[in-house]
Amino acid sequence: MKLSIRDILESKGISATENHLPILKTRWQAIENMKADLDNAALNDYDISLRNIPGGDHIE
C-alpha cells in the first residue's frame, strides 16, 4: 500500500491544511522524479557546487 503525502506528514507529526496538500503533493512528485532520474544518470552530469557566505543570506 502506497502512503499518501498526508499519511507521510502525519506520521512525522506534521499537519497540513487542505489548501497546502495539492502543492505539497506536486512538489513531492517532482522530488521523486528527480530521484528517479539520478538512478539513470552519469555522475559527471550531476556536479554540485556549494558556497558558504557567512551572513550571506541577504546577498542576491
pLDDT reported for residue 23: 92
Enter the C-alpha cell of residue 42.
552519469
Low-confidence ranges of the chain (pLDDT < 70): 43-47, 55-60
pLDDT reported for residue 26: 92
Q: What is the 3-state secondary structure (H, E, C) of 4-56?
A: CHHHHHHHCCCCCCCCCHHHHHHHHHHHHHHHHHHHCCCHHHHCCCCCCCCCH
pLDDT reported for residue 12: 93
pLDDT reported for residue 38: 75
